[in-house]
Amino acid sequence: MKVVIVEDERLAAEKLQRLLKQVDSGIEVLKVLESVEESVNWFSANVSPNLVFMDIQLDDGISFEIFDTLKIEVPVIFTTAFDEYAIRAFKVNSVDYLLKPVEKAALENSLRKYRNIYTAKQTEINISKVFEHMAKTYKSRFLVKIGTHFQSVPVENISCFFVEERSTFLKTKTGKNYDLDYSLDQIQKLVAPELFFRINRNFLVNINSISEILSYSTSRLKLKLHNFSSEGLIVSRDKAGEFKLWMDR
Question: What pLDDT does residue 124 have?
Answer: 47
pLDDT band at 88 (very low <50, low <70, confident <90, very high): low
Is pLDDT larger for residue 107 or for residue 85? 107
Q: Which of 180, 143, 160, 162 is nearest to 227 (CA)?
A: 160
Is-contact 96 117, C-beta < 8 A? no
- Rounded CA gap, 3 and 53, in Å? 7
Chain segment 138-186, per-residue pLDDT in tens? 889 999 988 888 999 999 999 999 999 889 999 999 999 999 999 999 9
The answer, yes or no, to whether residue 69 has pLDDT greater than 90, is no
Q: Which of 53-57, 65-69, 138-142 has the lowest mean pLDDT?
A: 65-69
- Rounded CA gap, 171 and 157, in Å? 9
Helix 240-247, helix 36-45: angle, nearest 10:
40
Q: Which of 190, 181, 188, 172 is nearest to 239 (CA)?
A: 188
Element (H, E) at 58: strand 57-58
- Rounded CA gap, 103 and 12, in Å? 11
CB 55: neighbour CB atoms within 10 A? 22
Category of 13 on φ-ψ map: left (φ > 0), alpha (ψ -120 to 50) or beta: alpha
> For residue 151, what are the β-bridge partners?
144
Report in angstroms the alpha-carbon separations of 245 from 24, 30, 45, 249: 25, 15, 11, 7
